[in-house]
């Protein structure tokens, strides 16, 4: 993608973001969201034996302008798309359990498609145990199958969950978008404990993230690996609404190909708020480093956010920004390309101000992959919007559009893709 095209893409995304956030409306017509007030709710979940259960389903047609995600020789195709999903939760005051699952099945009819039928999925469970008001024990397990960090499902929000307590978040393992992708299965689990001491708090957690790819095109060896992390958090309530904290953590990255192994650490600190209101989340900065036997030590500063913002009953925004270090998930043709610095930004926007029966949301993403000791940088972009019109109780017509692209300074490693889905959706 040339310089002019890159500038046009940047300007288009900026205009889209500005248009989403600054829709002209008179102040008198804008309902203000007060502390503790939630946005308008959709269909209420069904109650089954103390559990709140919400099944969802989308079924319809899909058009993909570049199924194989290639720079040249693009193959477009019509197909079918089915997306079943559910959430279930129970809360008795001491125990909180949340179970979720979603699958995205796409089938394309055109010849020359590398994978005519694809299945992406996400499922997991989170468990909180609060035996005392100042003590929380938590655990979670997640299974994710997709082609890259953006995923392919328009029906799953970006992973920008906000932590309501002092739990220390763990830097994710990011698979960057690329040409001719193959899917991977990622298994992650974590346990942690949080304790408050008056206005002070502390947390300790351990996590394991294992990633296994279906195949490794362009790699001489396997990309499969597991990352082990121990993270802690120490903080203090500056006010009833605002706290300050520091998050030190260490990691051990181990791969089938031992040349990709590394050890590292990361220290971040910042301020945050979890009190009910317009804002929730954290802003942080710090430093991180990894040491690999071939590449040596590579490091970077860290600046990031994890925030949710609901200025009115009509708007609900969630955003995240982070940078991670680790072995490359993209082939570079040389051993010196083992390591990358990956910056990831995700934004979801929900809008509830449309006429009755209508719903809309948007999603945006950016991934910058910089290779260590290799003159290569990939910039990945995502923009999408989803509109649903309710034609009957819980049953609607849904139109979704998604644009995804990669701009690489290596010939043959760039692509763009348009994905359009239209069909019926159900939510209980």
CA angle 183, 16, 36 (to 5 degrees): 85
CB 147, CB 177: distance < 8 Å = yes
CB 405, CB 5: distance < 8 Å = no
| Helix/strand/coil for 19 | helix
What pLDDT does residue 154 have? 60
What pLDDT does residue 71 have? 95
What pLDDT does residue 26 have? 28
| Helix/strand/coil for 372 | coil
Q: Nearest 5°: phi and psi at 274?
A: -125, 10
Residue partners of 283: CB distance under 8 A and separation at least 6: 270, 271, 272, 304, 305, 307
Task: Count CA atoms closer than 13 A to 404's CA, side-chain side.
Answer: 25
CA–CA gap between residue 122 and residue 176 (Å, rounded): 18
CB 96, CB 128: distance < 8 Å = yes
Whether CATH 2.60.40 fits 126-427: no
CB 232, CB 204: distance < 8 Å = yes
C-alpha torsion sign, points 363, 150, 120, 227: negative
Question: Long-range contacts made by residues 387-394, C-beta under 8 angstroms, separation at least 24?
Answer: 387/358, 387/359, 387/360, 388/358, 388/359, 388/360, 388/425, 389/357, 389/358, 390/357, 390/358, 390/359, 393/43, 394/43, 394/426, 394/427, 394/428
Q: Structural domain boundaries of the chain?
A: 126-427
What pLDDT does residue 40 have? 46
220, burial (CB in 10 Å: exposed 0-12, middle 13-18, buried 19+): exposed
What pLDDT does residue 334 have? 53
| Helix/strand/coil for 259 | helix
Beta-strand ranges (E) seen in 109-257 are 117-132, 135-146, 184-197, 200-213, 225-237, 243-255
CA angle 239, 169, 150 (to 5 degrees): 120
C-alpha torsion sign, points 353, 354, 356, 359: negative
* Token reading at 396: 């609607």
* Token reading at 12: 């288009």
**pTM score, two decimals?**
0.85
Map tokens 């195949």 to a residue: 215
CB 65, CB 78: distance < 8 Å = no
* Token reading at 122: 């996400």
Written as tens digits, the pLDDT of the chain (428 aa) is 443 444 333 333 333 333 333 333 322 222 333 334 444 455 678 888 889 999 999 999 999 999 999 999 999 999 999 999 999 999 998 999 999 999 999 999 998 998 899 999 999 999 999 999 999 999 999 999 999 988 865 665 433 333 433 455 566 688 889 998 889 999 999 999 999 999 999 999 999 999 999 987 777 778 999 999 999 999 999 999 999 999 999 999 999 999 999 999 999 999 999 877 788 999 999 999 999 988 899 999 999 999 999 888 888 999 999 999 999 888 776 555 579 999 999 999 998 888 888 999 999 999 999 999 888 999 999 999 999 999 988 899 999 999 999 999 999 999 999 999 999 999 88
């Amino acid at each position: 993608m040339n310089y002019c095209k890159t500038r046009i893409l940047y300007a288009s995304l900026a205009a889209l973001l500005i248009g989403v956030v600054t829709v002209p409306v008179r102040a008198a017509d804008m309902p203000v969201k007060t502390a503790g007030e939630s946005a308008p709710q959709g269909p209420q979940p069904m109650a089954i034996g103390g559990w709140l259960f919400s099944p969802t389903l989308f079924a319809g047609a899909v058009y993909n302008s570049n199924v194989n995600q290639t720079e040249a020789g693009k193959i477009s195709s019509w197909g079918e798309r089915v997306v079943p999903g559910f959430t279930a939760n129970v809360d008795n005051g001491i125990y909180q359990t949340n179970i979720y699952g979603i699958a995205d099945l796409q089938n394309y009819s055109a010849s020359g498609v590398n994978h005519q039928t694809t299945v992406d999925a996400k499922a997991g469970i989170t468990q909180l145990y609060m035996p005392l008001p100042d003590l929380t024990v938590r655990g979670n397990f997640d299974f994710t199958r997709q082609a890259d960090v953006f995923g392919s499902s328009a029906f799953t929000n970006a992973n920008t969950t906000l932590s309501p307590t002092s739990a220390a978040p763990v830097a994710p393992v990011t698979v960057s978008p690329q040409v001719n992708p193959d899917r991977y299965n990622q298994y992650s689990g974590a346990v942690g404990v949080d304790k408050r001491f008056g206005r002070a708090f502390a947390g300790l957690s351990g996590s394991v993230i294992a990633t296994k790819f279906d195949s490794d095109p362009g790699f001489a060896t396997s990309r499969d690996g597991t990352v082990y992390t121990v993270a802690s958090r120490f903080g203090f309530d500056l006010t009833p609404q605002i706290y300050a904290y520091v998050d030190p953590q260490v990691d051990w990255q181990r791969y089938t190909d031992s040349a990709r192994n590394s050890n590292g650490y990361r220290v971040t600190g910042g301020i945050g708020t979890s009190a009910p209101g317009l804002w929730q989340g954290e802003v942080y900065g710090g430093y991180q480093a990894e040491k690999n036997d071939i590449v040596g030590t590579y490091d970077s500063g860290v600046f990031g956010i994890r925030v949710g913002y609901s200025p009115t009953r009509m708007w609900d925004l969630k955003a995240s920004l982070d940078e991670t270090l680790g072995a490359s998930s993209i082939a570079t043709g040389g051993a010196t390309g083992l390591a990358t610095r990956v910056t990831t930004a995700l934004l979801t926007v929900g809008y509830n101000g449309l006429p009755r029966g209508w719903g809309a949301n948007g999603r945006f993403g950016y991934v910058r992959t910089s290779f260590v000791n290799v003159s290569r940088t990939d910039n990945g972009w995502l923009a999408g919007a989803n509109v649903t019109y309710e034609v009957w109780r819980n049953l609607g017509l849904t139109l979704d559009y998604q644009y995804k692209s990669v701009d690489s300074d290596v010939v043959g490693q760039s692509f763009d893709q348009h994905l359009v889905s239209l069909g019926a959706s159900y939510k209980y």
